[in-house]
C-alpha cells in the first residue's frame, strides 16, 4: 500500500515544504520532512524541493552534510523527484554565481534569455518527449505552474522527457529511470500536478514498476560523476 512507504521531503530551508507535504498528503502518503541524512538514506522515495538561489541552496546542503547522501540516494535506484530548483541542483554547475551543484546529471544550469520577462512566472505548456510512469495519464501540452529565472540544460537530451518554450525551448522534465525532476511546481499546478505526485507515490510503492522502468531502455545512464583532488567534477571512465 502506498501509505506504508517512507517518503522523505528534504528540508534544507530552501523550499516550499508545506505545499509539497500537503500535496503528498492529499494523494495518500504522510511524508517525513527532514534534513537528516540517516532518514534520507532509509527512505523508499525522496522529494527534493527548492526555490530561490542555486548557490545558496548548495551552501545550505553542504552545511547540513547532505550533498553526498543525496548523490548516493540518486545512484541507489530508488525513486527520486526534484522540483523546480530541485531539478537545477542535480546538474553539474550553474551560471548563477558560477557554482558547483550535485553533479547527478551531466550539464549546466543557464539563465533564461534576454528579451523575456524574468522570472518566468505563471502557467505554461509542456511538450512530452517520452513516456514515464510518473506522467501516466497526463495529456500532451498540459499546462503547469512555473517560477524560475534559470533552466536546466542537460548534455544528453535522451533523458529530456518534456520541454517548454519561453524565449528558448528548455528542459521542463528530466526522467532517467528512478530519477525524475520538473522545472515546474506540481504542487501549484492543480489536478494534473497532484496526478504527478500520485504517480510518483505509486511508483515508490511498486518495486515491479521500478524494475520495469529501469529495464525499459537499452541506453545506459549518464556516467557517475566523481570529484578530483581540487573538487572539480570528473566523469568516471566508462
Active site residues: 84, 185, 187
- Is the C-alpha dihedral spanning 163, 44, 55, 102 positive or negative? negative
Helix residue ranges, H only, 35-146: 37-41, 54-63, 67-75, 85-88
Specify whether the CB–CB gap between 80 and 41 falls below 8 A: no
Q: Which three cell numbers stand for residue 80?
A: 527520486
* Residue whose cell numbers read 523550499: 15
CB-based contacts of 220-227 (< 8 A; 24+ apart in sequence): 221/176, 221/177, 222/105, 222/106, 222/155, 222/156, 222/159, 222/176, 223/106, 224/75, 225/92, 225/103, 225/104, 225/106, 227/103
- Beta strands 150-154 and 105-111: pairing type? antiparallel
Q: Which candidate, 229, 44, 202, 56, places its Cα nearest to that of 132? A: 202
SS3 21: helix
Amino acid at each position: 500500500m502506498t501509505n506504508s512507504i517512507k517518503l522523505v521531503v528534504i528540508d534544507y530551508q530552501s523550499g516550499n515544504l508545506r505545499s509539497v507535504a500537503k500535496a503528498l498528503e492529499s494523494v495518500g502518503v504522510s511524508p517525513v520532512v527532514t534534513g537528516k541524512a540517516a532518514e534520507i538514506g532509509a527512505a523508499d522515495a525522496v522529494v527534493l524541493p527548492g526555490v530561490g538561489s542555486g548557490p545558496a541552496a548548495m551552501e545550505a546542503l553542504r552545511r547540513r552534510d547532505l550533498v553526498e547522501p543525496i548523490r548516493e540516494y540518486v545512484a541507489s535506484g530508488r525513486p527520486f523527484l526534484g522540483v523546480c530548483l530541485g531539478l537545477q541542483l542535480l546538474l553539474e554547475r550553474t551560471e548563477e554565481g558560477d557554482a558547483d551543484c550535485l553533479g547527478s546529471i551531466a550539464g549546466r544550469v543557464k539563465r533564461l534569455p534576454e528579451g523575456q520577462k524574468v522570472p518566468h512566472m505563471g502557467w505554461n505548456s509542456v511538450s512530452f518527449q517520452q513516456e514515464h510512469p510518473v506522467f501516466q495519464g497526463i495529456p500532451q501540452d498540459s499546462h503547469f505552474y512555473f517560477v524560475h529565472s534559470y533552466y536546466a540544460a542537460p548534455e544528453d537530451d535522451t533523458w529530456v522527457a518534456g520541454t517548454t518554450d519561453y524565449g528558448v525551448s528548455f528542459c521542463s522534465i528530466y526522467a532517467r529511470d528512478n530519477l525524475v525532476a520538473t522545472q515546474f511546481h506540481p504542487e501549484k499546478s492543480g489536478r494534473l500536478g497532484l496526478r504527478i505526485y500520485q504517480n510518483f507515490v505509486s511508483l515508490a510503492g511498486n518495486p515491479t514498476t521500478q524494475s520495469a522502468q529501469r529495464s525499459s531502455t537499452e541506453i545506459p545512464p549518464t556516467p557517475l560523476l566523481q570529484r578530483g583532488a581540487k573538487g572539480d567534477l570528473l566523469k568516471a571512465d566508462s
